Structures are given as C-alpha cells and as structure tokens.
Amino acid sequence: MSVTELRTEGRIAVITVDNPPVNALSHAVRAGLMDCLRDIGSDNNIDAAVLTCAGRTFIAGADIREFGKPPQQPFLPDVVLALDGFGKPLVAALHGTALGGGLEVAMGCHYRLAAGSAMVGLPEVNLGLLPGAGGTQLLPRLVGAEAALEMMLSGKPIPAQPARLAGIVDKVVVDDNLLVRAIAFANEVAKKPIPRSSERQMPPVNTALFEQRREQVAARSHGLFAPGKIIDCVEQAVSADLVSGMAFERAAFLACHASSQSAGLRHAFLAERSAVKVPNLAAATPVRDVKQIVVIGAGTMGAGIAYSCLTAGFGVRLLDKDADGIGRGEKTVRGLFEGGVARGKLSQDKADAMLAQFATDTNLANVADADLVIEAVFENMAVKKEVFANLGKHCRAGAILATNTSTLDVDAIAAASGRAEDVIGLHFFSPAHIMRLVEIVRGRSTADDVLATSAAFAKRLRKLGVVVGNCYGFVGNRMLYAYGRENQLMLLEGAPPEHIDHVLQDWGMAMGPNAVGDLAGIDVGYKARKERDDLPDDPRFYQVANLLVEQGRLGRKTGRGTFLYEDGSRTPKADPEVQQLINDEAARLGIEQRVVPDDEIIDRCIYGLVTEGARILEDGIAARAADIDVIWMNGYGFPRYRGGPMHYADSVGLDKVHARVCEFRDRFGAQYWEPPQLLTDLANSSATFADFVK
Ligand code: T1G
C-alpha cells in the first residue's frame, strides 16, 4: 500500500497521505510527496493542488521511530523547501493535529485551510528538539517572532480559530467538507500569484525580546538546551533569508538530536505508549462493562479517586463508615470541582452534571450495584482484609474489586474476598486527581478480563496504567526503599539533608528525598516499616526517620520533619536540631562522619534505583525496563530528559554502572550493593536494559 496517493478533481490535483496511525513523515511519505510534486509539476492539465491526509489527523510530525536510524533522503527540510518553491499553488487541508513536521509541511504549502476542530503546533521542544524543517524560520514569518517563540517554547498546540487570527491558517472550515472546500479554494487561487511563506517579510521585532526569553528559559528549563537553540534560530530568522536560516536551523536541530536530553525525552514519549500495552494478554480479551463505581474510604486518596472517576463520566458512590469522614470526603470532592470551574478547566454545567452522578453513604454494604469497587482505606492488612471479605459477600457477580494499596500483598487481600479472580490492585499516586500514573497490580488469580478492564479504565481516566506484578511495593515503592535507604545512610555518614536534596534536585529530581518525605509524612513510611518482618538487620536502616517520627517530627503536617516549615510555609528550612540529632545518632552507632562527594550522593541514590529495578526485571514484576522508567518519571519526579532510571543507566553504559556498583559493594558491603545478576550479565555482554525481555 502506498502512503501517498495522487488523483485529480478537474484541474486540481489531490495528494493524500495515508500512513496510519498519525500520518508521520516517514521516509516513504517524504519520498512520496516529492514524487507527487514531480508529477503535478509536469502535468499541464493541473493548475493547483491540495494536500490532505487520510485517517484521524493531518501529519502529526516527523516519524519519531526513525530518529535512531541513519537518515534517508529526501530530508524533510528539502521537502518543505520544494513545497515553498513549487510553481503551482499548494493548499494544505488540516484536520486533527497538524504538529511538528506536519505543520512545517503545511507552512511550506502556500495556503492552509483547517477544520474547525483542528489543532496546530510545534511540540518538538517536548522531545528535546526544535522544529528542524523550517519551522523556526517560517512560523515567525507568518505570526511574528514573539508569538512564534511562545508556540515553540511552550510546545502547546493552538486551535484553528486562534491559528487563523494569528496568521497561520487562511481559512477555517466549520462544516464537515474540508476537502471539498479546499478543492474549491484551490480553483479560486489557481491563477493568482503564489504567496510563498519564504517571501514574507518578518514583522518588526524588538530584539530585546530574545534576551528576555533567554533569561526566562534559563530560569525555568532546568538545564535543557533545546529552548535556547530555538531562540537562536528565531533570532537568525530576523535577518537571514530562508535558505541560510534553515541551514542555521539544521545545525541547531542536529545538535539537539544528538543530545542525551533528546534521547531521554524521545524514550519517554515512546515508553509511555508502550507501557500501557498489557503484556501477555490476548488483544481480543473482553472488557467488562463499568458504569457505577464505589470508592471505599473518604480520605484524601479516596476523594481524589472519586473525583477522577466522576470527571471521566462514571457514576460514583463514596463510602466511609465514619460520618465525619464522609463529610470531609464530600467536601474535598466538591472543592475539587469548584476549583476546576474556577480555573476554567470545566464549565459549571458540566460540573453540575458530574456531581449529579455523585453520592455518599456510611453503609459499607451498599455496593450491590457496583461494577467496580476501589478500596482506599487505611494501609493496614487486617483492615483491608475485612473490607474485602465484606465486598466478597455483598458485591454482585462480575463486579471488579480493586485495592489502592501502595505496598501490601494483593494476593492476600484477594484471598480474603473469596473471589480472587475479580481482584486487582489499582495503585493511584497522590494526589490522585493530578498524578497520571496508576500501577495496575496483577494478582496471581486476577482474571484476564479484569486486567483488560482495568487497563481500559485507566485509559478512560486519561491515566498511565502500567501493569506490574505483586511484591512488596510493586515497582515504584520497592525501588523507593533503596533510594531512601541510601539517603538515610548518607545522613548518618555526614551529608546534611539539605545538601543531599540540593544535589539531587540539581541533578534533575523534582524534589529531594528529604523534602519528599516531609511532604508525604515521615510517619507513613514508619508505619509501613513497622508492619514488615523482612527488614535488613541493620541498626542504621531508616534510623534517622524513625527517630524523627518518635519525636513527633512528621513533616510538613506538623510544621517540622527533617526540615522546618515556619508559619505554615511550604519551603523546607534546615534545622540545626535535626542535624544535632543525626550527629548524636551517628556517634552512638560509631559511624565516622565525612564529606560525602556530590557524585557519590547521586550514584548511590540513582544506582540504588537501578539495581532494584534490575531485580524487579529478574523477578518478572515489570515486563519491560521502559515500564520502570515510566513509573519513576510519572510517579516520583525522575527527570524526563534523563528518560527514567533504566534508560539513564543504559545511557551511562552498564559496564560503568556495574563497576560503580561493585565499588560500592567493596566499600559499603554486599548487603545492599551485591550487583544483580542481570546487571552483571548485561554489562558483560555490552547489552542494555532496553534489550532485556523476560
Ligand atoms: N512518530 C511516530 N509515531 C507516532 C508519532 C510520531 N510523530 N506520534 C504518535 N505516534 C504513534 C504513537 O507512538 C502511537 O503508536 C500512536 O501514534 C498513537 O499515538 C522535523 C523533528 C499526535 C497528539 O511530537 O503528540 O516533527 O503505540 O497514543 O493520544 O520539526 O501522538 O499505537 O503503536 O499519542 O491520540 C513532532 C507526537 C515530532 C507529536 C495523538 N510531533 N504525537 O495523540 O495517540 S518531531 C510530535 C502526539 C518533528 C520536525 C520534528 C500524539 C498525537 P502505537 P498516541 P493520541
């Protein structure tokens, strides 16, 4: 099947790109477009042409999957220049999302018509790139430098009407006849002079704009350099002709493309799309019908989950045996809707319609009509078992019973229900109405259709549902133990908490481990540890955290934890009392204090993640290393431009990672630093975690 088709309607040629799923500009598409231009140019019976796409969208960009491969002519910039210089009028008909190279191709054409629902944008910056096929030169010529910079630095698409007002789109077609209108438009302009984007003069610009944007970007982009390159290219467009401007742009694009930042961001993009594909599940697996959801537990998590389900169009009943708890939960849900309306996220009418689907009850047996029950009660096995025993009795046959536990044994909870095949883990991350990640924990007995339904449910909530196996902490929290352990040990060894946090945040983590602990509440981990009987026999293990909790220093919620939070401030401040507590405990344990080098802080915390991630792959708890990356980028603030812990280790080189882990084993002992066999095997065979398939 050809990915480009050429036909004529009277004296108008119609080029149709048909390259599912998003008409990405693969090599075949680029070559096909050039062939079509050649045929149209040599046909005297054709006066003008329309470029359209089959399927759900106009071209959504260059083919991201081709980036790692050797580039093939024709390169996209050459295609765009050929369009711009073409001798007959070219009309692009845009529907869906004309993004990246797709919008560049459209700007190479001489006119752009858009369906009313179309969106246009240059999101390359999200991939650590810049528009590399003329976008940084053509867009400023259409909309001016300032608006062009805003679109390219934000990476956000804009709707058709604002795009018309800005000068990107010539006409918006509000009925469903985009192609018919485009062909009629082509007939109208067939004999008119051709308005080439390359010949448009740049609107005047205050050159101070570029320095202003450089300062903004430096403050906000955490060391990413694609934004600065975009500014350089637009600045070049002010004075350069199109060809030399595009040569400048090409060099800048190649520099971005070669960067580890872009490799990480492109990995993140593809990993998030592969992670939601359930491994070892037949595509034809049926999905159970879910309309009515019951959430049990009206705390912060339960209310956030209820809100997420309501905004996705489900009916929701929130249960809690405590009347005060229900009152608080209902208040939280209503407050979230009020906030959404206030921020313009949804209309009052929509909020009212969703809230009409919301109910509460203190009767935990009121579950008979539930298609899906999500338990979000206190993180205690006995409490959860009681809830699931009750659900096993009162839920209808076929109802799915999900636990939101963040660490506990899903199989044990499932057994308590008496219907383990209907039980699954849905580990939402807090705050549940904001965090995209859900770990879908597949129990030993979980039925395939329960798994398929859960994956579809996560998609309905517009969340990233990643299927993981059942073990303590599943993937994310199991790895968090190793990351936190090293933080705790380094505190005792002499690294101040504020320094550890600064070093890791500077490295790219959204928050340092000590600030995260204060945010979540240090008592949460403390209580979880008290429930375990498999902790390492090591008096240093989370000892600082234990002492803080035992002194009532629980974190932000008590105004002090590892750090101080004065007068309700959210800004952590170093606390000399805590440092003294650490020093005293280190002395008691006979730990010699030292200056812990910054690279050691980073490597012990990050390779702590990597080694535990390797064990998770060995145990089959995660199907792909990329799934682990998705979990840590979306649940724990791991920097996207580093691609997640496993991709980062691959980018460093597993031989180097393995050598560093062996050094830590030799210095700190094999209890925590014996290299996982998988890491040793991959390092010895010059392979990567990306190569690993269980
Ligand atoms: N290349 C290859 N595959 C792509 C793709 C792309 N650009 N965009 C999407 N896909 C695949 C995706 O992997 C998934 O595949 C399927 O399409 C559906 O995607 C030179 C250098 C278009 C808004 O950054 O934002 O042009 O998993 O699940 O939620 O200047 O995809 O089904 O096998 O996301 O409806 C610039 C990226 C590229 C746009 C649709 N363009 N795509 O969202 O579906 S760089 C982008 C998106 C560039 C030039 C530069 C979204 C979407 P599979 P999906 P969706």
- pLDDT at residue number 449: 97
Residue whose CA lies nearest to ligand 1 atom number 16:
21
Q: Is 29 in the pocket of ligand 1 (CB under 6 A)?
A: no
Tally of CB atoms within 10 A around 10: 12
- Among 70-74, 173-177, 646-650, top mean pLDDT goes to 646-650
- pLDDT at residue number 78: 96
Mean pLDDT of 225-233: 96
Q: What is the enclosing helix (H) or strand (E) of 570?
A: none
Residue 189's DSSP bridge partners are none
**What's the 115 CA to ligand 1 centre distance in angstroms?**
20
- pLDDT at residue number 239: 87
Mutate to test the pocket of ligand 1, among 19, 23, 64, 65 (most ligand atoms within 8 A of CB): 64
Please confirm whether the linkage preceding 286 is cis (ω < 30° from 0): no
**What's the 152 CA to ligand 1 centre distance in angstroms?**
17
How many angstroms separate the CA atoms of 317 and 322, rounded? 15
Which atom of ligand 1 sits closest to the CA of residue 61? 26
User: Cβ distance 94 to 169 under 8 Å?
Assistant: yes
Q: Give Rg (Cα) of the chain.
A: 28
Q: Would you say residue 694 has pLDDT above 80? A: no
Is 104 among the residues known to form the active site? yes
Within its chain, how far is the Cα of 253 from the centroid?
A: 23
Q: Is 100 in the pocket of ligand 1 (CB under 6 A)?
A: yes
Q: Where residue 230 falls among pLDDT bands split at 50, 70, 90?
A: very high
CB contact burial 198-233 (16+ within 10 A = b; e otherwise) = beeebeebeeebbeebeeebeeeeeebbbbbbbbbb
Q: Is 101 in the pocket of ligand 1 (CB under 6 A)?
A: yes
Mean pLDDT of 74-99: 97
**What's the 64 CA to ligand 1 centre distance in angstroms?**
7
Q: Where residue 111 falls among pLDDT bands split at 50, 70, 90?
A: very high
Q: Would you say residue 161 has pLDDT above 80? A: yes
- Name residues whose C-beta falls within 8 Å of residue 630's C-beta, 6 or more positions apart in sequence: 268, 271, 272, 275, 437, 464, 466, 644
Q: Is 522 in the pocket of ligand 1 (CB under 6 A)?
A: no
Residue whose CA lies nearest to ligand 1 atom number 47:
60
Report which of residues 425 and 201 the model is more confident about: 425
Mean pLDDT score across all residues of the chain: 95
Residue whose CA lies nearest to ligand 1 atom number 14:
273
Q: Tokens 């990306």 map to which residue?
A: 690
Mean pLDDT of 147-162: 96
Residue 555's DSSP bridge partners are 560
User: pLDDT tens digit string along 609-638?
Assistant: 999 999 999 999 999 999 999 999 999 999
Which atom of ligand 1 sits closest to the CA of residue 76? 20
Query: CA angle at residue 260 from 517 to 276, to 5 degrees?
Result: 65
Residue among 124, 272, 585, 612 flagged as catalytic: 124
Which atom of ligand 1 sits closest to the CA of residue 126? 24
User: Cβ distance 305 to 283 under 8 Å?
Assistant: no
Q: Is 516 in the pocket of ligand 1 (CB under 6 A)?
A: no
Q: Is 157 in the pocket of ligand 1 (CB under 6 A)?
A: no
Q: Is 128 in the pocket of ligand 1 (CB under 6 A)?
A: no
Q: Would you say residue 222 has pLDDT above 80? A: no
**What's the 260 CA to ligand 1 centre distance in angstroms?**
20
**What's the 22 CA to ligand 1 centre distance in angstroms?**
7
- pLDDT at residue number 613: 98
**What's the 433 CA to ligand 1 centre distance in angstroms?**
25
Lowest mean pLDDT among 202-206, 308-312, 439-443: 202-206
Share of the chain above pLDDT 70, in %: 100
Q: Is 276 in the pocket of ligand 1 (CB under 6 A)?
A: no
Write out the two tokens for 56: 């759900």
Residue whose CA lies nearest to ligand 1 atom number 22:
60
Tally of CB atoms within 10 A around 77: 22
Q: What is the enclosing helix (H) or strand (E) of 357?
A: none
Write out the two tokens for 593: 């204090």
User: pLDDT tens digit string along 263-286?
Assistant: 999 999 999 999 989 988 998 999
User: Cβ distance 404 to 359 under 8 Å?
Assistant: no
Q: Is 242 in the pocket of ligand 1 (CB under 6 A)?
A: no
**What's the 232 CA to ligand 1 centre distance in angstroms?**
26
Q: Is 62 in the pocket of ligand 1 (CB under 6 A)?
A: yes
Q: Is 64 in the pocket of ligand 1 (CB under 6 A)?
A: yes
- pLDDT at residue number 620: 95
Q: Would you say residue 293 has pLDDT above 90? A: yes
Q: Is 400 in the pocket of ligand 1 (CB under 6 A)?
A: no
**What's the 269 CA to ligand 1 centre distance in angstroms?**
8
DSSP 3-state of 194: coil
Report which of residues 242 and 114 the model is more confident about: 114
Mutate to test the pocket of ligand 1, among 22, 107, 270 (most ligand atoms within 8 A of CB): 22
Residue whose CA lies nearest to ligand 1 atom number 51:
60
pTM confidence score: 0.94
Please confirm whether the linkage preceding 21 is cis (ω < 30° from 0): yes
Q: Is 123 in the pocket of ligand 1 (CB under 6 A)?
A: yes
- pLDDT at residue number 216: 92
Helix pair 497-507, 598-618: axis angle to 10 deg: 70
**What's the 29 CA to ligand 1 centre distance in angstroms?**
15
Q: Where residue 532 falls among pLDDT bands split at 50, 70, 90?
A: confident
How many angstroms separate the CA atoms of 73 and 82, rounded? 13
Mean pLDDT of 252-273: 95
Share of the chain above pLDDT 90, in %: 89
How many angstroms separate the CA atoms of 20 and 226, rounded? 29
Q: Would you say residue 567 has pLDDT above 80? A: yes
How many angstroms separate the CA atoms of 20 and 682, rounded? 35
> Distances in Å between the alpha carbon of 604 and those of 516, 660, 673?
18, 9, 9
Q: Is 268 in the pocket of ligand 1 (CB under 6 A)?
A: no
**What's the 376 CA to ligand 1 centre distance in angstroms?**
35
Q: Would you say residue 136 has pLDDT above 80? A: yes
Q: Would you say residue 225 has pLDDT above 90? A: no
Q: Is 381 exposed, middle or buried (0-12, 13-18, 19+ CB in 10 A)?
A: middle
- pLDDT at residue number 345: 87
**What's the 3 CA to ligand 1 centre distance in angstroms?**
17
Domains of the chain: 4-253 (3.90.226.10), 292-468 (3.40.50.720), 476-620+623-691 (1.10.1040.50)
Report which of residues 532 and 368 the model is more confident about: 368
Q: Is 99 in the pocket of ligand 1 (CB under 6 A)?
A: yes
User: pLDDT tens digit string along 434-487?
Assistant: 999 999 999 999 999 999 999 999 999 999 999 999 999 999 999 999 999 999
Q: Is 249 in the pocket of ligand 1 (CB under 6 A)?
A: no
Query: CA angle at residue 53 from 49 to 59, to 5 degrees?
Result: 110
Mean pLDDT of 6-18: 97
Q: Would you say residue 91 has pLDDT above 90? A: yes
Residues in the chain: 694
Mean pLDDT of 591-605: 97
Mean pLDDT of 631-653: 97
- pLDDT at residue number 335: 95
Q: Is 56 in the pocket of ligand 1 (CB under 6 A)?
A: no
Which atom of ligand 1 sits closest to the CA of residue 270? 13
Query: CA angle at residue 105 from 104 to 111, to 5 degrees?
Result: 100
Which atom of ligand 1 sits closest to the CA of residue 131? 30
Is 124 among the residues known to form the active site? yes
DSSP string, 72-126: -SSPHHHHHHHHHT-SS-EEEEE-SEEETHHHHHHHHSSEEEEETT-EEE-GGGG
Residue among 66, 104, 375, 531 flagged as catalytic: 104
Q: Where residue 379 falls among pLDDT bands split at 50, 70, 90?
A: confident
